[in-house]
Amino acid sequence: MTDHPKTSPLVLGTMMFGTDVDEETSFALLDRFVERGGVWIDTADCYSFWASASGLGGDSETVIGRWLAARPGARDRVKISTKLGAEPLWADSWPQARAGLSRRAVAEAFRGSLDRLGVDRVDLLWLHQEDRSTPIEETVDALGELTATGQVARVGASNHPAWRVERARARAAATRSIPIDALQLNATYLSVRPGTLPPGVVHPHGVLSDEQRDYAIEHRLEVWAYTPLLSGAYDNPEKPIPEVYDHPGTTRRLAVLDEVAAERGTTRGATVLAWLVARGIRPMLGGSKLAQLDVAMDAVASPLSEAHLARMNAVT
């Protein structure tokens, strides 16, 4: 791995590492990501239970752990984020029976993640999805125990409504622990019809809303966007844009997106990634091919002009 002069805002999503993406390809993607200035690597303890032979997660973290062990010095060049709370209690038990976010569950899941990753700390620990059977205050106290020891540098919330994030931050302030400072949600240039969710998003509060974005801006929380490219549907004619995006607003937005992409000499997807970065949102890429990674990293390295940003934002 060679040095790169600039760091990239792109996050490398590793959901299918160790399952659909084999170890050799996973290593190649991780190597290229770091060579091109990538820093943040995102995983979860439940990745990817639905594609694993055991029906449980852990494969993604294990592959990352092997890559770190095989690349001396790599740990000092990357930041690791992982998530907990969504792992099935046994094969085929999700979503009825999952680990959840009790104090005990958080502690046990985190120990497992450290073991699989082969590290003694993570740079960002996410609550993967809300657990309303557990008081959010109990979860925050469990996170506080981990941040107090230095094993966790930052904490974030994925697929949580703004009001629960606010309650969690209030508890952290009251106990003088490190508060949630990042949100991970589905976000892209297009918007689904009201009352619908994009394919693959099973959480009722998993799509970035105006309220969540307003909350993040007001309190200076980072926002990470998963599935920003609609799994390739922006540019792959064999992947139609999902039906939940079928409304007049999408027609207008795609027209402007096509115009801006043509003027920039790039693709729809690359323009969407640049648009997210211009809005202060960190896009996550979960591709399985080096060419996809290169295109994405080129996209986020090429800033969107103020004029293009204004045009894209103006479409309602």
Residue 47 annotated as catalytic: yes
What are the residues whose beta carbons fall under 8 Å from the beta carbon of 214, sequence distance 6 or more?
none
Q: Which helix (H) or strand (E) holds 217?
A: helix 210-219
CA distance 53 to 28: 23
On the CB side of 179, CA atoms within 13 Å amount to 19
Q: Which helix (H) or strand (E) holds 80?
A: strand 79-84
On the CB side of 51, CA atoms within 13 Å amount to 13
CA distance 140 to 35: 36
Cβ-based neighbour number of residue 249 at 10 Å: 13
CA distance 10 to 39: 8
Q: Which helix (H) or strand (E) holds 126?
A: strand 124-127
CA distance 306 to 295: 22
Q: Are 157 and 131 in contact (CB under 8 A)?
A: no
Catalytic residue among 47, 189, 226, 234: 47
CA distance 81 to 39: 10
Task: Give catalytic residues, as residue numbers.
Answer: 47
